[in-house]
Structure 1
């Protein structure tokens, strides 16, 4: 069973490393991502799995009524398909629900290397509710999933 815990500041380098290894960020973007971890908004929660193979970032959505957003989810390629992503999303959902959340949003890209993430969200009963064409660049759409809590 995958053990998920709330991340501590000492976990930030591991989280950045997971993000790079997973392909979500390249080395050039890693420093900026690491800095963003240190400057997270109030209410933002980071989770890591106990073995340091996966991480997630959850935050309340600004100017909404109890909506939370899973801003980041990454699993090291060597540990994918072992239930870590599912456990991280489940923990994020539980946290949002305990904080009085009504819904949880997840955004991802339409690119092929995010197909497994989209399949995961669908398997967890998230509804695909929106597509914004070209949001991440020419031909790369933003795909939004929603789960009522």
Structure 2
């Protein structure tokens, strides 16, 4: 199995104003074949629905695709099944992620983990 050579990465996408009201943390999934996890994405509450989350996701995808298929094949995100995370789940769907797995009670009683994924390569190689 090919192992990603890139370390955990903190992403800060800056708008033209130079202010950084959003960020993300990206890391390779251990024991997985070229799978990366965007396990943290945050946008300041007053700036939700302004396109800033899009900037982070697009920067992450550009960076991973630029590293080549030998390093990155799939990008995953994880959310909970709670009503509080519904907006996040819709956001990732708009970004082209497909819901793929559900782990019951992972986040606590009545709160499942939802895993969504997106291919980074033209054909799943």
**Structure-1-length-normalised TM-score:** 0.69
1:144 equivalent in structure 2: 115
Tell me the alpha carbon deviations over residues 114-133 of structure 1, each in whole angstroms, 9 at most, x when there is no partner. Answer: 11111111011111000111
| Aligned-residue offset at 1:99 | 2.1
Question: Do residues 78 (structure 1) and 46 (structure 2) align?
Answer: yes
1:124 is aligned, of 80, 88, 95, to 95
Aligned length: 108
2:56 is aligned, of 79, 88, 91, to 88
In 2, Cα distance between equivalents of 1:123 and 1:133? 24
In 1, Cα distance between equivalents of 2:28 and 2:65? 11
Contact 2:13 2:59 (8 Å CA) reproduced: no
- Segments ≥4 residues shifted beyond 4 Å: none
SS in 2 for 1:63: coil
Give 5+ residue unaligned stretches, structure 2: 1-5, 121-125
Structure number with higher relative contact order (C-alpha < 8 Å, ≥ 6 residues apart): 2
Q: Which structure: greater helix fraction? A: 1
**Structure-2-length-normalised TM-score:** 0.81
Give 5+ residue unaligned stretches, structure 1: 1-41
| Aligned-residue offset at 1:49 | 3.1
